[in-house]
Every structure is written in C-alpha cells, then in structure tokens.
Amino acid sequence: MTRTMRAATLDDMPRLQQIVREVWAIGSDFTLEEKYGSVGDERWDRWLLPKVMSRLWDEIGNIIVTEIDGEIAGFVSYAIDREREVGAIHYNAVATGFQGHGIGTAQVERVLEIFRDAGMKIACVGTGLNEGHAPARRMYEKAGFEPVIEYRMYSRPLD
C-alpha cells in the first residue's frame, strides 16, 4: 500500500465530492433531516454538497489529497491568515474504505508543516460535538489541539 500526498487539481474535484457525500452524514444538514425529515423536500446532501464544494473550489490552491496506490483516499483543505499568523484546517476527510489507517492524522500533520513553514503561530480547527464527530475530536486532541470554545446549534420547527 503506497501512500502519497500532493496538491489537489481541478480533475480531483469529482472524487472529492464523492468523499464529501460518503462521509459527511454526521453534520448539521444530516442531523436536521434525522430530526425533522427532508428539509426542502430533498435529502441532506442536496444542501451540504453545494456548500462544501463551493468552498473547496474557492480553496483549490489549499487542498492536499492523499492517494493510496493511485486512488484518492482523502483530502484536507486549509487557510492561512498571514496578518494574524493563524492557520485553519477547514475540511479533513477520509473515504470510508480507507479510514482507520492514519490518513486523517497524516493529512493534519502535513498541514501543520505547511503552517509552520508559512510562519503561522497558531493552528485551529473546528468540529462537531456529536457522536459522529468523536473520531475527529480524538484525532485532533492526539495531534495536540485543545478545545477553545464549544458551539451548539439549536433548531425548532416553525409551525
């Protein structure tokens, strides 16, 4: 099993979209659907995919993909704020069939290298507090990240 990391290209975007659809059934759009049924009479991924993919298209220069034997197994996107000297991990995803092999951790380590090389003083990342995000929280804490603030999303029906 050969693992390589490289900058994402435009040709990678369809695969990144597949991974987003596959692994993001843990976020707020999915959770709203679980609680209330289809939102806008469409599945959760109808709302999530355009949001995530729009940001990824905007950040194409700041996406690293991980390939296993030539197949994209995961990706991580990030931003660098040179004025504040803060690097932020935006999305870190590993396709289901490749999870549990340290790919997400390796992606975080690679981005931390990029932040250090760019002179960043702080690295940050956000993740959900629900059970679906528990593996991500464990991974980030293992990588040395500490909680700074907790966030809670509230909802209610409007009937």
Whole-prediction pTM value?
Answer: 0.88
CATH number assigned to the domain comprising residue 91: 3.40.630.30
Range(s) of the domain holding residue 124: 3-142
The number of distinct structural domains making up the chain is: 1
| 68 lies in some domain | yes
157 occurs within a structural domain = no
Per the domain annotation, does 45 fall within a domain? yes
Nearest alpha carbon to residue 75 among 89, 85, 54, 58:
89
User: Cα-flanking dihedrals φ and ψ of residue 105, to 5°?
Assistant: -65, -45
* Per-residue confidence in pLDDT tens, the chain, 159 aa: 799 999 999 999 999 999 998 888 767 777 777 778 777 777 766 777 888 889 999 999 999 999 999 999 999 999 999 999 999 999 999 999 999 999 999 999 999 999 999 999 999 999 888 787 888 999 999 999 999 998 888 888 887
Q: What is the spatial distance between Cα 125 and Cα 137, in angstroms, rounded to a whole number?
A: 10
